[in-house]
Structures are given as structure tokens and as C-alpha cells.
Amino acid sequence: MQRIHFHEVVTRDGFQNEATFVPTDTKVVLIDALSRCGYAKIEVTSFTSAKAIPMLKDAEEVMGRIQRQPDVEYTVLVPNVRGAERALECRANEFNVVMSVSETHNLTNLRMTRAQSFASLRDVIAMAQQHVAINVSLSTSFGCPMEGVVPQDEVLRWADQFAALGVRGLTICDTTGMANPAQVARMARALKQRFPTLQLTLHFHNTRGMGLANVLTAVQEGIDRFDGSLGGLGGCPYAPGASGNICSEDAIHMLSEMGYDTGIDLPRLLDVARRMPAIVGHEVSGQLAKAGLCTDLHPAPSM
Amino acid sequence: MQRIHFHEVVTRDGFQNEATFVPTDTKVVLIDALSRCGYAKIEVTSFTSAKAIPMLKDAEEVMGRIQRQPDVEYTVLVPNVRGAERALECRANEFNVVMSVSETHNLTNLRMTRAQSFASLRDVIAMAQQHVAINVSLSTSFGCPMEGVVPQDEVLRWADQFAALGVRGLTICDTTGMANPAQVARMARALKQRFPTLQLTLHFHNTRGMGLANVLTAVQEGIDRFDGSLGGLGGCPYAPGASGNICSEDAIHMLSEMGYDTGIDLPRLLDVARRMPAIVGHEVSGQLAKAGLCTDLHPAPSM
């Protein structure tokens, strides 16, 4: 059974898109429950400014209160050197630094040119990588909602620049759900060939319904790490009403049914996933929590 | 560009699961719009009793009023000889006859044993196949919500019995969304090998989020015909709140983005898909109608 590693991003990427603040107690209880499900990594929070993302203003408190499990890496998003200093004090296992491959998206989302973002992240990496593993997430790697096509060579060019800095891992992100399986297969092959020693993760969104087909294709091409968000939380401002990140439990269930070893205790994860509508105050897009496992049989009605 | 054929089932399989009657005028306008989108087949209605399925009590009127396009086959569900007589008068291009591979599901759904269903459908086929093409749909071919596992050999055994009667096509149905891609690959290979001259269709549900991954896998294994339902209509009584049939426009968009020739005018189809929430009076699960095409770019905000 081939092992596939899952990273849970709901408390960072998922909650960041929610309108109503999720209480710190709820976040801590949720992360502690997720820590017992078998994830390889949990992206706990972001060390950004409280003004920019009020949802994650409790980053220090959450990091201080969660009960860490030895087999789980606790990763955090770090936008700049100030964030890196805060995150180091909180003993994160990994820093996730982010920029967009699309210039327009980077300007819109981070208010910097890509060159400015790279310079800033290079400073973070130089300051932090003797203390902590560094992962680089490249947003809009499969398309930009404003620029349209993002050439694969441009993704690889930015990946090269970070690889040269000695980072541990790369996450290639389909930020707004534009990737199709043929494109994913080409990207996965190029990444595996070019970065054989880096930890490679794919981050898909289900905005146009292709998320799990993209996961399947990437697995077929030898990728073994994926981000997912419980319940499929984490929308996109360009697609109101559409799905967000791929739903962790749906993706894990698919691979598990196919015979892959995801390391996840699926019934336990499903128990946690079923709390999500109450936590965020609305229905979520994940299917498995509504449908149940394939092995949850129904009684035949009496005739 | 390899050609993949799509069959639209929303007005039969989709509407059959809706609580509120869709007016005959609306059905006719919808089918006429779908007829201009490039489908290979449209499953218009079912010639069952008005008492059993009030939604489809207007089968004759709908068949009489739609404007048929020469490249589209208009297929109808026919449950028995009485239905076949009615459908023949309406000049359907194809009869779709249905039974379940799971005995328990067949008893629950059709109130007959599988042997009784087969005998009844054999009479339909004997009476009709000199006049019209016959397609056999085998429900619960990838699993039964009451029995659980449905052995692939059992599916092939029933398929053999219908093939021996000279039917034109077989549709292998994942009625409650239990199929996973590994299982679909095995089934597709077995079907292609065993029935090389039959028209083979796969019918997936997205109940557990695996629908489009299953389509992708089937295409990779050489299957080139799929049922889909506009907006993803067509739920399952065992999974309240979960998705129904695979969403036609989402599946067609994925294959189109990958470079397959689906024959479908996607912008036109999307216009029709966007009418669905108003027609059925509630949100639908399809994603593309909410997110838009990958080529629908957004303006960059002024900085």
C-alpha cells in the first residue's frame, strides 16, 4: 500500500475565508481533534497582522494551547520577518511562505510585485532556516483569475529560485480551481523530474468540480502529499457560492477506497468533519460527511 | 481530439427526485434548449405510471411537443410492456430498461426479484427491438446501500444475459455514489473486453465526491459515453443533502479543458445550466455555473 500524506489547512486557509470569528477555544479543540486523526501536517494559523486577518489574530494563543502529537508537524503561514520572529517563539515545526506566480494576483493579494515578495521571503528564509523547515507555496500556479493562463515554465522558474535558497518543500497551488487533470499530469512530471529531493505538495481547489480528479491524476504521477480542508472550507472571492479547497475527508476517503494508505483514521476524521457546519454556522461543501462511508449500510425496508 | 459522448438525464433522472412538479411547458423549453447544446442523447422522460412518478405523468405531452434535432437521440425509460407501447407511439429513438444488480435494491426499488425484472424486461425487448434501439441500465453495479459490495462478476453475469438478447447498449450505474476510481478502472477494462461491440455508457453519482474522478478514470480506460445531469440534479434517498448525479456541465468542462471533443457548446450549455435553480426552486450542486469558465477573467482591482 503506497503511502499518501495529507496536510490539513482548515484552521488557516479555511477559516481565513469565513466571515464570523471562530473562538480560540473552538480552534484549539478542533486542532487537538485533528492531531489525533493521522495527518502528516496541520497548518495551524498565520502570523500576519491582526488587522489584515482578524480571524487569525489569536495565532500565539492557539500555538501555545494546542496539544502537539509527535507524528504531526505543525506548520504556520509566515508573511514576513516580523511574522517569522513571532512564529519562531511559538516553536512552529515549519514555516510556509507564500507568493503568487501571477504578477497581477501577487499585486492584488499581497500588495507587492513578485520581485518584492521574493526579496522579503528570502529574508525570512535566511533568518529562519537554521531553526525550522521552510516550505514555499506558489499561488495561481495553474491559472490566474485575472491574467488567465500561467505558463508552467514560469512556475518552475520561481520554484528554481526558492530551491536555490535551500528550502525543504514546495507546494504548487491551484488557488482558484482552474487546473485540469491533463495540466496536473504535466506539472507533476515536471516537478518530480526537476526537484527530485524536495518535499512536493499539491494544493487543489474544487471551484469547478475538478479537485479530486486532480488529486487522482497527481497520485498517478507519483505525487504523495496534498493539502486539504475539512468540509471543503476556504472559498475564493472570484467564485461566490462555489466550493473552496478540496475537502480533506472526501479526498482521503477516495484514496483509502482505492487501497492507498493515507495514515488517516477515517471514521474519527468524519466525526470531526461533522462538527464543521456548527463551527462555521453554515453548510459546507464536503460530501462524505453527508453521505457516510460506503460501508455504512442501510437497512432494507420491510416490503 | 478523442470524442466523448454525453447523455443528458436531468429531465428524467434529475426531475424524478424533485419534490415540486416542474410544469410541462418548462420541461419542453428546457429539452429544446438542451437539444441545441450538442448532446448525443437526451433521456426525456419515463413511461411509468403517473401514480408511481407524478413528476413524469406528462410523458406523452412532452414527447409530442419537443422539437427534435437530427443529431440527438431521444431516449425514454420504459419499465414494462405497457410503458413500451406508450413509448413506441411517441416515437422514442431508444428505450432504456432498468434493473438492479443487487437483489435487495431491486426488491426495494422495483418491488420485484431480479428474475422477475429480467423476465419483464425480456418481454419489452422482444416486443420493441424490431422498432427501436434498446439500452439496458444496471443499477447498483458498484455497490448497494443495503447489501454493500456488489461483485463485478455479478454485474457481468446480468450484462451477459441482456447482451444475449441482442440489445444495443449497456449502462453501468453507480446509483448511490459508491464507486471509486480503482474499481471503475477494473470494471471498464472488463466491459471493454467482454462487450467490444456494445455501446457502453457509465452512469456516475457524486454522492461521495468521486464522480468526476471516476469519469476521468473511465475515459483513461477507453470508455467514451457518460450520463450526466444538468446542475448535478438527481439525489439519492440514502444520502440526504449529498450531491446527486454527476453534474453534466462540470464533467463536460473538465474533459473539454483536457482537450477532449465532447461535441458540446459549453457557453450555451452553461446558459441553460444557470436556469436550473429557478426551475427546481433551490440551489444545485454543480460548480461551473457558479464559478464560470476558466477563460472568464476578472478585472484586476485598481491599487
Asked about B236 being catalytic, the answer comes back as yes
Residue A248: which CATH number?
A: 3.20.20.70
Per-residue pLDDT tens over the stretch B250-260: 999 999 999 99
- Contact: B258, A180; criterion CB under 8 Å: yes
Question: Distance of CA A205 to CAs A28, A209, A210, B199, B248, Å?
Answer: 25, 8, 8, 34, 19
Overall average pLDDT of the B76-97 stretch: 98
Please report whether residue A303 resides in a domain.
Answer: no
Please report whether residue A296 resides in a domain.
Answer: no
A1 touches chain B (CB under 8 A): no
Contacts with B, A 212-241, CB within 8 Å: 212-213, 215-217, 236, 238-241
Picking from B1, B105, B174, B180 by the largest number of A CB atoms within 10 A of its own CB, the best residue to mutate is: B180
| CA dist., res. A217 & res. A230, Å (int) | 21
Please report whether residue B298 resides in a domain.
Answer: no
Count: domains in chain A: 1
**Which DSSP helix (H) or strand (E) runs through B184?**
helix B181-194
- Contact: A290, B107; criterion CB under 8 Å: no
B-chain CB neighbours of A286 within 8 Å are 209
**pTM, to two decimals:** 0.98
- Whether this model's ipTM surpasses 0.85 comes out as yes
Q: How far is A137 from chain B (nearest CA, A)?
A: 21
Per-residue pLDDT tens over the stretch B117-141: 999 999 999 999 999 999 999 999 9
Per-residue pLDDT tens over the stretch A49-104: 999 999 999 999 999 999 999 999 999 999 999 999 999 999 999 999 999 999 99
* Residue located via cell numbers 432494507: A300
Please report whether residue B25 resides in a domain.
Answer: yes
B-chain CB neighbours of A290 within 8 Å are 239-242
Grid coordinates in use for A218?
A: 497527481
Grid coordinates in use for B285?
A: 450542486
- Contact: B216, A215; criterion CB under 8 Å: no
- So what's the pLDDT on residue A237? 78
Please report whether residue A298 resides in a domain.
Answer: no
Mean confidence (pLDDT) of chain A: 96
Which residue of chain A is at minimal alpha-carbon distance from B235?
A291
Contacts with A, B 263-302, CB within 8 Å: 283, 286-288, 290-292, 294-295, 297-301
Please report whether residue A300 resides in a domain.
Answer: no
Please report whether residue B302 resides in a domain.
Answer: no
- Contact: B181, A254; criterion CB under 8 Å: yes
Grid coordinates in use for B279?
A: 426551475
Q: Which domain holds residue B268?
A: 5-291
Q: Flag whether pLDDT at A303 surpasses 70.
A: no
In chain A, what are the helix, strand and coil shares in percent, each to the nearest 5? 40, 15, 40
Please report whether residue B27 resides in a domain.
Answer: yes
Which residue of chain B is at minimal alpha-carbon distance from A220?
B217
**pLDDT cut 90: percent of chain A above it:** 95
Per-residue pLDDT tens over the stretch B156-212: 999 999 999 999 999 999 999 999 999 999 999 999 999 999 999 999 999 999 999
Q: Flag whether pLDDT at B44 surpasses 80.
A: yes
